Structure 1
Amino acid sequence: MLALTSIWTTILLAAAVALGPLATDMYLPALPQIGSDLNASTGDVQLTLSFYLAGFAMAQLFCGPLADCFGRKPIMIAGFFIFALASIGCARATDVDSLMLFRFLQALGGSAGPVLGRAAVRDIYTPQQSARIMAILASIMALAPALAPTIGGVMVTHLGWASIFYVLAGYALAMMAIVAIGIPEPMCPEYRQPLRPTSLLKNYRLIGSDISFLGYTLTNSLMYSSLFAFISGSSFVLIDFLGVSPQHFGLYFAFVVAGYIVGNLLAVRLGKRLLPDQILLRGILLATAGGIVMASLALAEVYSVWAVMLPQAVILCGTGMVLPQTMAGALANFPRMAGSASSLFGFAQMTIAAGSGALVGYLHNGTSLVMALVIALSTLAALASYVLLVQRFPAPGFEVEARV
């Protein structure tokens, strides 16, 4: 097996965490076609995304505590297996309601990768090292959403949308084998927690009452909700409204993901000379500026592909700087219950993001306006959360006194 601190272990953890983005991004170009084939409305098809996030959020509340009791590897392997079975169900769905159900079940298994990948990084590294490793991990993981829509667009054009879910099932089974064989158990045996309802509630109460945890988690969740608003609305805006072909959709999506990778790499580089708080502030301000520009263009009825994609690339650059810092900050105070802290963190992130995606689908007016406004408001709310909570209550051991 690989050493825990090996770069190859980080790459394998990134591949495990990437299952979540793959499950959303690969089938984005297929959403209009799914709606047509299953006789479903735009709102109903977008609900398959929100159902996935809802299942993802709920599963994380149990996934982390189970991993704190039994270890990271067994729960991750079981999650991949459930994900693979549900993906086959998605491929064979004959109506949008059954697709929603299987997407929900898919999320129950898919939550294991991201939750336990974050927890494993906290198991292996110190809080400040975790921020840098998570940025590296995010840079590697970003290859998935960069390539997935392009691959999905080609597959839906030539093989049909069901083929996407068969590929996801194969990926999950491959990761199940790789994790079982290639990665050692990262959790220290002495950190294992008892699996009792009273202990679970006690841990969640302890974590949820930590004001620095709440600040980092809310800031991250609001920033992630701006990303999910784009994920939820981009295929309908670009393909249906602006006339981009499904095959070319992935190329545009890769362009904005490149902004996220640049943000991750900036976070890694700046981490050598700046405090996490300083990187976080720069990222939020950059993302907020991009959100305001996108919303302003939409309000002025400037409707073009680049009026959406250029501001979104800027937003994702800022997001790439923000997410690793807030993930590491949220888990910094909980080395003995990193799985539970990661679960509660992920639950909040996915719940807020699911609401953002559902809002875009419910209010969609056939243009880019609703998506742009939800994105801008999310970044502004993330900035407010940072100022009111993170700067005032930084995590001890992760931040020193916050600076503007």
Structure 2
Amino acid sequence: MLALTSIWTTILLAAAVALGPMAIDMYLPALPQIGADFQADTGQVQFTLSIYLIGFALAQLVCGPLADRFGRKPVMIGGMLLFALASIGCALASNIETLHLFRFLQALGGSAGPVLGRAIVRDVYTPRDAARILAILAGMMALAPAVAPTLGGFIVATMDWHWIFIVMAAYALVMVAVIAVGIPEPLRPDNRQPFRLCQLMRNYRRIGTDMTFIGYTLTSAAIYGGLFAFLSGSAFVLIDVLGVAPEHFGLYTAITAVGYLLGNIASIRLARHLQPDQILLYGLATTLIAGAIMALLAYQNIHNPWAVVLPQALFMAGTGMVLPQTMAGALANFPTMAGSASALLGFLQMTAAAIAGALVGILHDGTPLVMAVIITVCATLGLIGYLFLVQRYPAPGFQAQETR
């Protein structure tokens, strides 16, 4: 097996963590076709994304504590097996309601990768080093939103949307084998927590009342909301409103993924000279500027794919700077409860994502304006969270004042 600090272990973790996001990104080009096949309206089709986010959020609350009790590997493997089975169910769905059900089950399994990937990094590294490793991890994961929509668009154009879920199932089964053979168990026996309801509630109460955790988590959740507002609305805006061909949709979203990758690279490089909270502030300012540009262009009725994609790429660059800092900061105070802390962080992130995504679906008016405004509001809330909470309750070693 590989050493936990090996770059190959980081690559394998990135591949495992990418499973959950892939279930979102790969099928985005298929949303209009799914609606046509099932004679479903925009809200019903968009709910296949929202129900996934809801299941993803809820499952993490159990997945994290289970991993704190039984170890990271068995829970991650079990989650991926469930993901594979549910993906096959999605492929065989005969109506939109059945697809909703299997998307929910798919999310229950898919939550294991991201929540336990974060926990494993916290198991192995100190809080400050964890921010750097999470940035590297996120940079590798940027390949998923770059490649997955392109692959999904190709499948929709040449075969059928059902095959997208077959590919997801195959990927999950490959990851089961890789994790079982390649990654050692990172959780030390003396750090294992009992899986009892009363203990679970005490742990969540302790985590949820920690002001450092609250500050970084709410800031992260707001930016996640902006990210998923785009993911929820992009297919309808770019394909239905702006006339982008489904097979070209992935190329546009790949540009936004490049923005995310560049943000991650900037985060890693800036970490040599700046404290994490300084990088976080620069990232939040970038997301707000990007959202405002997109909203202004939409308000001026400049309906062009580039008026959406380029501002979103800038937003994603800011997101690539924000998320590693907020994730590491949220987990900093909980070295022995990293699974539970990661689970609660993920739950709140996905709750914000589900709300933002649902609002885009409900309020969609046939223009890019609704999506752009929601992205801008989310970026504003993220900056407010930083100014009023993160600055007052910084994680150990994160505060900018220490650079003096």
Question: Which TM-score tier does this pair reach, normalised by the shorter chain?
Answer: over 0.9
**Matching residue's letter, 1:7:** I
Structure 1 residues 218-297: aligned runs within 5 Å: 218-297=218-297
Deviation at 1:56, TM superposition (A): 0.2
Alignment of 1:20-35 (within 5 A): 20-35=20-35
TM-score by length of 2: 0.99
Superposed displacement of residue 188, structure 1 = 1.2
* 1:90 aligned partner, one-letter code: C
Cα distance in 2 for residues equivalent to 1:289 and 1:64: 35
Aligned sequence identity (%):
64
Shift of the alpha carbon at 1:400?
Answer: 5.7
Offset at residue 219 of structure 1 (A): 0.3
User: Hey, what does 2:39 align to over in structure 1?
Assistant: 39
Equivalent AA in structure 1 for residue 379 of structure 2: T
Alpha-carbon distance, 1:275 to partner: 0.2
Asked whether the equivalents of residues 392 and 402 of structure 1 are also in contact (C-alpha less than 8 Å), the reply is no
Is 1:227–1:316's contact at 8 Å kept on the other side of the alignment? yes
User: Which has the larger displacement, 295-304 or 99-108?
Assistant: 295-304
Counterpart residue number, 2:343: 343
**Structure 2 contact 220–322 (Cα < 8 Å) conserved:** yes
Secondary structure of 1:157's counterpart equals helix
Letter matched to residue 241 of structure 1: V
Give the aligned partner of residue 200 of structure 1.
Answer: 200
| Cα distance in 1 for residues equivalent to 2:16 and 2:312 | 26
Cα RMSD, aligned residues only: 1.1
Q: What is the CA distance between 1:21 and its match in structure 2?
A: 1.2
Equivalent residue of 2:320, what SS?
A: helix
Aligned counterparts of 1:399 and 1:328: Cα–Cα separation in 2: 13
Matches within 5 A, 1:86-101: 86-101=86-101
1:331 positional shift: 0.2
- Note the alpha carbon deviations across 1:201-226, whole angstroms, 9 max, x for none: 00000000000100000000000110
Q: CA shift at 1:158, angstroms?
A: 1.0
After superposition, the C-alpha distances for 1:269-320 in whole angstroms (9 at most, x for unaligned) are: 0001100011000000011000011111111111111111111111000000
Which runs of structure 2 are paired with 1:30-69 in the superposition (5 Å)? 30-69=30-69
Contact 1:391 1:402 in 2 (8 A): no
Q: How many Å separate the matches in 2 of 1:310 and 1:388?
A: 30
Map of 2:210 onto structure 1: 210
Structure-1 separation of matches of 2:315 and 2:249: 19
Give the aligned residue type for 1:57: A
Do 2:52 and 2:107's aligned partners in 1 also have CA atoms closer than 8 Å? yes
> CA offsets per residue over residues 41-63 of structure 1, 9 Å max, x none?
01110000000000000000000
What do residues 249-270 of structure 1 show as CA deviations (whole Å, max 9, x unaligned)? 0000001110000000000000
**In structure 2, what is the equivalent of residue 81 of structure 1?**
81
Aligned equivalents of 1:315 and 1:296: distance in 2? 14
C-alpha distance after superposition, 1:318-340 (max 9, x if no partner): 00000000000000000000000
Using the size of structure 1 for normalisation, the TM-score is: 0.99
Measure the CA separation in 2 of the matches of 1:228 and 1:36.
Answer: 23
Partner of 2:384: 384
Runs (5+) with no aligned partner, structure 2: none
The one-letter code matched in structure 1 to 2:281 is: L
Structure 1 portions without partners, runs of 5+: none
Number of the residue aligned with 2:177: 177
State whether residues 276 and 400 of structure 2, in contact with CA within 8 Å, keep that contact through their aligned partners in structure 1. no
Superposed CA offset, 1:352-394 (max 9, x none) = 1100000000000111011001001100111111101001110
Number of aligned pairs?
404
Aligned partner of residue 311 in structure 1, secondary structure: helix
Q: Supply the AA of the counterpart residue of 1:23.
A: A
Structure 1 ranges of 4+ moved more than 4 A = 400-403
| Structure 1 CA distance for aligned equivalents of residues 221 and 166 of structure 2 | 30
How many angstroms apart in 2 are the aligned matches of 1:49 and 1:36?
16
What is the match of residue 19 of structure 2?
19
* 8 Å CA contact retained: 1:332, 1:398: no
> What is the match of residue 188 of structure 2?
188
Q: Deviations over 1:211-251 (max 9, x none)?
A: 01000000000001100000000000000000000000000
Distance in 2 (CA, whole Å) between partners of 1:87 and 1:341 is 28
Residue 402 of structure 1 and its aligned partner are, at CA, apart by 7.9
Q: How far apart, in 1, do the equivalents of 2:145 and 2:290 lie? A: 20
In structure 2, what residue type is equivalent to 1:26? M
Is the contact made by 1:291 and 1:375 (CA closer than 8 Å) also made in structure 2?
Answer: yes
- CA–CA distance in structure 1, aligned partners of residues 80 and 21 of structure 2: 14
Once residues 398 and 94 of structure 1 are traced to their aligned partners in structure 2, the CA distance between those partners, rounded to angstroms, is 51
Partner residue in 1 for 2:331:
331
Map of 1:155 onto structure 2? 155
> In the alignment, what sits opposite 1:119?
119
Distance 2:249 2:400 in 1: 43
Shift of residue 396 of structure 1? 2.4
Q: Distance in 2 between matches of 1:365 and 1:134?
A: 37
Q: Is the 8 A contact 1:277 1:402 kept in 2?
A: no
